[in-house]
Amino acid sequence: MIKNIKLVIVDVDGVLTDGAIHIDSQGCESKAFHVLDGTGISYLHRAGIKTAIISGRTCDAVIHRAKELGIEDIYQGATNKIDAYKDILEKYALHDEEICYIGDDLIDLPILYRVGFPVAVANASPLVKRHSAYVTRVKGGCGAVREVAEKILKFQDKWHLIMERYQK
């Protein structure tokens, strides 16, 4: 299942963030993203694995962070995430078994049921955990995406592509 992964799709609130929503007195929303998750995404890209975002909410901060990380496919306001998922599959001519999805709540279940490598973050809903092949050790927003990225790259024997840059 992990060996065939060509694309990793992540949820935002509760996966790329800790799930907290910060709204200032003017009603502007902001989010905090963990640098380890960004590094994990860049490692996936370096190894030739694509990434995408599917979020049920909409926030400009997500677009800015995705651009920083080189994530091209960003679906926000996706109250029915399966439609966005199908669009991504079609765009890249991929199959369910080639996808990893990282989620945390019930809205993620329709995709988790289908993908080759369904992942729940440590603080995910118990039902989401039950329907995942892997549950991260760390909570969403605290490096969970990085943990999954390393797992995939090591399993696919691509970790050396990352380490080449850091070895003597």
> How far, in Å, CA of 49 to CA of 103, rounded?
18
Mean pLDDT within 25-51: 95
**Domain span holding position 78:** 7-159
pLDDT of residue 1: 81
Burial of 47 (0-12, 13-18, 19+ CB in 10 A): middle
Q: What separation in angstroms does the CA of 26 have from each of 22, 29, 165?
A: 11, 9, 44
- pLDDT tens by residue, 87-141: 999 999 999 999 999 999 999 999 999 999 999 999 999 999 999 999 999 999 9
Closest-CA residue to 50 (of 66, 27, 32, 26): 66
Q: Which residues sit opposite 120 in a β-bridge?
A: 103, 135
- pLDDT tens by residue, 42-61: 999 999 999 999 999 999 99
In a domain, 77, yes or no: yes
Neighbouring CB atoms inside 10 A of 77's CB total 10
pLDDT tier for residue 165 given thresholds of 50, 70 and 90 = confident
In a domain, 139, yes or no: yes
> What are the helix (H) ranges across the chain?
35-46, 60-69, 81-92, 109-112, 126-130, 144-155, 159-163
The alpha carbon of residue 95 and the mean position of all alpha carbons in its chain are separated, in whole angstroms, by: 17
In a domain, 167, yes or no: no
Q: At what angle do helices 35-46 and 60-69 cross, to 10 degrees?
A: 50
Residue 11, classed as helix, strand or coil, is coil
In a domain, 114, yes or no: yes
Number of domains in the chain: 1
Domain harbouring 140, CATH code: 3.40.50.1000
In a domain, 1, yes or no: no
Contact between 114 and 97 (Cβ < 8 Å): no
Residue 130, classed as helix, strand or coil, is helix
pTM: 0.95
In a domain, 164, yes or no: no
- pLDDT tens by residue, 72-87: 999 999 999 999 999 9
- pLDDT tens by residue, 13-25: 999 999 998 998 9
In a domain, 112, yes or no: yes
